[in-house]
A = this chain, B = another copy of it.
Amino acid sequence: MLDMHEIFIVTCIVVAALAFVFAFWLYAWVNKQPSENQKIAKVSDLIRKGANTFLRREYKVLAIFAGFVSVLIFVFLPQPIWNADADVIEHLEMTLSYIFGTVFSGLAGKIGIQVATIANKKTAEAAQKGIRPSFLCGFRGGAVMGMAVVGSSLLGVALIFWITNNATALLGFSFGASSLALFAKAGGGIFTKTADVSADLTGKVELGIPEDDPRNPAVIADNVGDNVGDVAGMGADLFDSHVASLSAALVMAVALGTEYIALVFCYGALGLFASILGVAAARMGKKDEPTIALNMSTYLTTGIFFVLTLLATIVFDFGEHKWRIWGAAIIGLFVGVIIGVATDYFTDDRRKPVHKLAEASEKGPAFTIITGVSYGFISVLPAMVGIGISALAAYKLLDIPGGDPLLPLYGISMAAVGMLSIVGMIISNDAYGPIVDNARGLAEMGELGDEVLDITDSLDSAGNTVKAITKGFAIGAAGLTVIALLGAFIAEVNAAANDLGVNLNITGFDVMDPLVFFGLIVGASVPAVFSAMLMLGVDRNAQKMVAEIHRQFDEIDGLKEGVEGVEPEYEKCIDIATTGALKELIPAGLFAILVTIIVGFVGGVQAIGGFLTGNIVSGLLLALFMSNSGGLWDNGKKYVESGHFGGKGSDTHKAAVIGDTVGDPFKDTAGPSINTQITVVSLVASLLSTLFILFSVIK
C-alpha cells in the first residue's frame, strides 16, 4: 500500500507522462503541417544546423564542467568522504542526482530546439493561409517545449524523491539543473545578442537594409541565436526555477510530515495538468489579436489551477492547515500575474513610458538612454513590493501560535510553488516568441510577400509583448523561490550541524551581526559584476562579428548590391558567435560560485546567510531593471518605427535604435541570467553547508 505522499508522487509521474504524450502529439501536429518552399527549407536547415552545432559544442564544454563538479560532489558532499560517518551511498545519490539534473535540463533544451527549428518554417508557410493557422503553428511549437520542460521537472523531482527519500539529493538535482541553466542561459544569451546587435548595427544602421535581409552575413546567426538563447536558454532557466521551487518546498515538507509532502506533489501535478488544458484550448478567435489569445490562455490556466486546487484541498486530507497553505499558493499565483501586468505597463506601447521614451529620443540618444534607465529603475518598485507582500502574507498565513517554526517558511515556498504552477503555460508563451520571430525572418528571406510579412510581424510583436510579461513573472518566481531556498538553507544547516554533533540551531540571520552584514554587502555586488561580465562578453564578440561582416561586404563582390546568386558566408558569423559564447559563458558563472565559496569559508554560515540575502535583493533589483528597461527600449524603437516622432529613418529613430541596441544585452543576456545566478548561489550554499560549518576561518 502506498503512503499518501506516494499516491501524489505517482500522480505526478502520470501527469508528466501525459504531458509527454501531449508534447509528442503537438510535435507530430506541427511536423505534418505543409512546407514546400525550397528557399525557406534551405535557410531553415541552416538555422537548425547552426543551433545544433552550437548546442553540441556548448554541451561538450558543460559536460566537462559537470564531470569535474560531479567528482567534487562525490568527494565532498554532503561532507568530506574521508569523515568517519560519511555514507558512500549518500554521496553516490547526490552525485547521480546532480548528473540527472544536468542531463534533464540539457534534454529539455535539445527537444525545444528540435521542435522550434521545425515550427519556424511551418509557421512562416502557414501565414500564407492566414493569421489563425500561423498562430496555432507557432504556439503549438512553443508548447512542446513547455510540456517537455515541466514534464521533465515534475518527473525528475518525483522519481528522485521517491527513490532516495532524501531532500538533500533533490537539492543536488536542482543544482544540476541550475548550474546547467546558468551556463546555457549565459552562453545562449551571449550568442543571441552578439548576432542580433551585429546584424542590426551593420544592416539596419549602416546599410539601411531591412531586418532579416539575406544579404546580411549575420542574419542566420541572429535566427540561430533566437533558438539557442530564447528557446534553449529560457527553457533551462524556467526548468531550473520550477525544480528549485519544488525542492525548496520538499526540504521543509520532509521535516513537517507526509501530508505536507503530498501537498507539494499534488499542487505540482495540478499545475502541469492545468497547463495541458490551457495549451489544448489555446487558439485565436476570429476577431482576436494574437496577444489576446496568448493572455487568455494564461488566464484560463490560472483559473483552472485555482479551481482544481480548491477541489483537491476540499477532497483530500492535507492536515489542519491545508486552507492556509492553499491560500499561500494562491497568493503566489496572483502576485505572479500582478507582477506580469505591472511589467507590461512599463513596456506596453499604449502606455506613458514608451511614449515618453520615444519623445525623449527626439532630443538625441543620450535622452533615450537616461529616460530608459529612469523608467527601468522605477519599474522595480511594484514588482519588489509585490514579492515582499506575497512573502509576508504567505509567512503570516502559516505563522500559527504553537505551530512548527518551519511552517511559515514552508508557506513562502508554497507561494513560490503556486506562482510557478502555471509555468508550463508560461514557457509555451515564451517559446512562441522566437519561433514566430524566426518565421518572420524566413518569410522575408523566402520572399513570401508583404501580406505574409504583415501577419508574421503581428505575430512577432505579440511575442515581444508577452515576453515582457513572462519575464517579469519569471523574475518574480525566482525571487520567491530563492526566499524559500533561504529557508531550505537554514533547514540544511541545522540538519548538517545536528549530524556533526555541533550545537548551532540557526533560526535566522541578524543584519546587525557584522558577518551577516559583510556577507550582505558582498552578496549584493555579485549580480552587478556578473551581469557586467556577460555584457562585456557580448560587447567583445559583437565587435569581432561586426568586423567580420565588414570584411565580407568588402571582399565578396556583389554582396552589398544583392546580385542574384551571391551569398554571404553565414557560417563564419555563426562560428564567431559560437566560439565567443563558449569562451565567455564560464567565467561569469564561475565568479559567482567562487565568491560564494570564499565568503562561506571565510565567514561561515552567518556570512553566507547575509550573502544570499544581499544577492537576492540586489539580484532582483538589477534583473527587473535590466529586463524592463531593455523591453522599454525595444518597444520604444518599434513605436517610433510605426510612424511616431518622425518614423523610420528619422534622427529620432536612430536614437531609438541606439537605445534598443543597449537594451538587447540588458534584457536578453544579463537581466534574465541573474535569475539563474541567484538560484545557483543559493543551492551552492545549501549543498556546502556542512563544509562551511566545519572549515570556515571565522566561526
Residue numbers of A with Cβ under 8 A of B are 197, 201, 205, 360, 363-367, 369-371, 373-378, 380-381, 384-385, 387-389, 391-392, 395-396, 399, 408-409, 412, 483, 486-487, 490, 507-522, 524-525, 528-529, 531-533, 535-536, 538-539, 542-543, 546, 609-610, 613-614, 617-618, 620-621, 625, 658, 661-662, 665
**Residues of chain B within 8 A of A513, CB atoms compared:** 508
The answer to whether A375 touches B532, judged by C-beta atoms less than 8 angstroms apart, is yes
User: A366-B658, A409-B512 known; A529 and B620 CB under 8 Å?
Assistant: no
The answer to whether A363 touches B538, judged by C-beta atoms less than 8 angstroms apart, is no
The answer to whether B528 touches A621, judged by C-beta atoms less than 8 angstroms apart, is yes
The answer to whether A384 touches B510, judged by C-beta atoms less than 8 angstroms apart, is no
The answer to whether B525 touches A621, judged by C-beta atoms less than 8 angstroms apart, is yes
User: A370-B535, A370-B538, A517-B391 known; A528 and B380 CB under 8 Å?
Assistant: yes
Looking at the assembled complex, report how far the CB atom of A389 sits from the nearest CB atom of chain B, in whole angstroms.
Answer: 7
The answer to whether A511 touches B384, judged by C-beta atoms less than 8 angstroms apart, is no
Interface residue from B389, B521, B531, B625 paired with A384 (Cβ < 8 Å)? B521
**Residues of chain B within 8 A of A377, CB atoms compared:** 528-529, 531-532
The answer to whether B620 touches A617, judged by C-beta atoms less than 8 angstroms apart, is no
**Residues of chain B within 8 A of A511, CB atoms compared:** 486, 508-511, 516, 609-610, 613
The answer to whether B360 touches A539, judged by C-beta atoms less than 8 angstroms apart, is yes
- Complex Cα spacing A193 to B192, Å: 36
Looking at the assembled complex, report how far the CB atom of A185 sits from the nearest CB atom of chain B, in whole angstroms.
Answer: 18
Looking at the assembled complex, report how far the CB atom of A663 sits from the nearest CB atom of chain B, in whole angstroms.
Answer: 9
Looking at the assembled complex, report how far the CB atom of A659 sits from the nearest CB atom of chain B, in whole angstroms.
Answer: 8
Q: Can you sample 10 A-B contacts with CB below 8 Å?
A: A360-B539, A366-B658, A370-B535, A376-B532, A380-B525, A391-B514, A399-B514, A409-B512, A507-B510, A511-B516
- Complex Cα spacing A360 to B409, Å: 47
Interface residue from B369, B388, B490 paired with A522 (Cβ < 8 Å)? B388
- Complex Cα spacing A535 to B409, Å: 39
Looking at the assembled complex, report how far the CB atom of A626 sits from the nearest CB atom of chain B, in whole angstroms.
Answer: 9
**Residues of chain B within 8 A of A658, CB atoms compared:** 364-366, 369, 658
> Closest chain B residue to A620 by CB distance?
B521
In the complex, which of the residues A483, A517, A610 has the most CB atoms of chain B within 10 Å of its own CB atom? A517
**Residues of chain B within 8 A of A519, CB atoms compared:** 388
The answer to whether B662 touches A369, judged by C-beta atoms less than 8 angstroms apart, is yes
The answer to whether B517 touches A384, judged by C-beta atoms less than 8 angstroms apart, is no
The answer to whether B617 touches A371, judged by C-beta atoms less than 8 angstroms apart, is no
**Residues of chain B within 8 A of A539, CB atoms compared:** 360, 367, 370-371, 374
- Complex Cα spacing A539 to B366, Å: 10
**Residues of chain B within 8 A of A516, CB atoms compared:** 511
In the complex, which of the residues A366, A381, A538, A621 has the most CB atoms of chain B within 10 Å of its own CB atom? A366
User: A364-B201, A365-B365, A661-B366 known; A388 and B528 CB under 8 Å?
Assistant: no
- Complex Cα spacing A571 to B378, Å: 34
The answer to whether A521 touches B617, judged by C-beta atoms less than 8 angstroms apart, is yes
User: A385-B525, A518-B392, A532-B375 known; A665 and B370 CB under 8 Å?
Assistant: yes
- Complex Cα spacing A665 to B371, Å: 11
The answer to whether A529 touches B381, judged by C-beta atoms less than 8 angstroms apart, is yes
Looking at the assembled complex, report how far the CB atom of A369 sits from the nearest CB atom of chain B, in whole angstroms.
Answer: 5
Looking at the assembled complex, report how far the CB atom of A565 sits from the nearest CB atom of chain B, in whole angstroms.
Answer: 31
> Closest chain B residue to A543 by CB distance?
B363
Looking at the assembled complex, report how far the CB atom of A476 sits from the nearest CB atom of chain B, in whole angstroms.
Answer: 12
User: A363-B546, A377-B531, A536-B374 known; A514 and B617 CB under 8 Å?
Assistant: no
The answer to whether B374 touches A517, judged by C-beta atoms less than 8 angstroms apart, is no
**Residues of chain B within 8 A of A375, CB atoms compared:** 532
> Closest chain B residue to A660 by CB distance?
B366
- Complex Cα spacing A512 to B391, Å: 11
The answer to whether B508 touches A391, judged by C-beta atoms less than 8 angstroms apart, is no
> Closest chain B residue to A546 by CB distance?
B363
Looking at the assembled complex, report how far the CB atom of A674 sits from the nearest CB atom of chain B, in whole angstroms.
Answer: 11
- Complex Cα spacing A511 to B532, Å: 27
**Residues of chain B within 8 A of A380, CB atoms compared:** 525, 528-529
